[in-house]
Chain A
Amino acid sequence: DSGVTQTPKHLITATGQRVTLRCSPRSGDLSVYWYQQSLDQGLQFLIQYYNGEERAKGNILERFSAQQFPDLHSELNLSSLELGDSALYFCASSASTGTHSPLHFGNGTRLTVT
């Protein structure tokens, strides 16, 4: 168990809808990262938060947004969903904001858009 909790495990929704994915980092970790993994694809970095502030942005669509709350949990909001948004969404946390700390991944949320 990595200590990173993601909910829900599975999500099935229709095109055009909006969903929220939730992540609780490991105890003591201040950084939260969101990654998207489509079928047979690698890990695409979406966005990083550190102690409530946005730190880095990757290939995140404008339809997607995220935030990190004072208790350090994070939410990824996906709106106007399209079929191509179907993927496994991982949250990861690390102790620092730098790139020298290991990332600890949650078990992911599998999103299916029909």
Chain B
Amino acid sequence: GENVEQHPSTLSVQEGDSAVIKCTYSDSASNYFPWYKQELGKRPQLIIDIRSNVGEKKDQRIAVTLNKTAKHFSLHITETQPEDSAVYFCAAPTSGSARQLTFGSGTQLTVLP
């Protein structure tokens, strides 16, 4: 099956620093790449997504970049704050007769005050 690889699995940064999480996918036909944030004990929430017709999208302190040639996309969080601490999941469509989103394994981000 198609995989979505996510790195790193854990990431600790100092408050105010930037954090970058990277995902790679294998299906070249993939065209939609969302990122979800899951706080402890809560549901995953969509924080940003990007479609394959653009290379970058920003929303305040969060940005996502997409490199279709290399088949990877990244989440960038600037000026990190303690409330950014959570598990972040990327996702990409898988191939097959019935396409559906496959999630990466998640990145535990800890922002140290």
Contact = CB atoms under 8 A, between A and B. Distances in A.
B100 A56 contact: yes
Contacts of A98: 99
A33 B100 contact: yes
A48 B103 CA distance: 15
A43 B103 contact: yes
Interface in A78-104: 90, 98-104
Interface stretch (B14-22, B42-50, B63-71, B78-86): B42-50
B26 interface: no
A103 B101 contact: yes
Contact-residue bracket for chain B: 20 to 34
A45 B105 CA distance: 12
Nearest to B4: A42
Given A42-B89, A100-B51, A105 B99 contact: no
A102 B46 contact: yes
Contacts of A90: 43-44
A74 interface: no
Contact of B44 (A45, A101, A105): A105
A107 B39 CA distance: 11
A99 B89 contact: no
A48 to B, nearest CB: 6
A16 interface: no
> By CB atoms of chain B within 10 A, which of A56, A98, A100, A108 has the most?
A100
Interface string B29-46: 011101010000011111
Given A99-B99, A100-B32, A100-B51, A107 B42 contact: yes
> By CB atoms of chain B within 10 A, which of A43, A105, A107 has the most?
A43
> By CB atoms of chain B within 10 A, which of A42, A58, A102 has the most?
A42
6 contacts: A42-B103, A55-B100, A99-B93, A99-B99, A104-B46, A106-B43
Interface of A: 2, 33, 42-43, 45, 48, 55-58, 90, 98-108
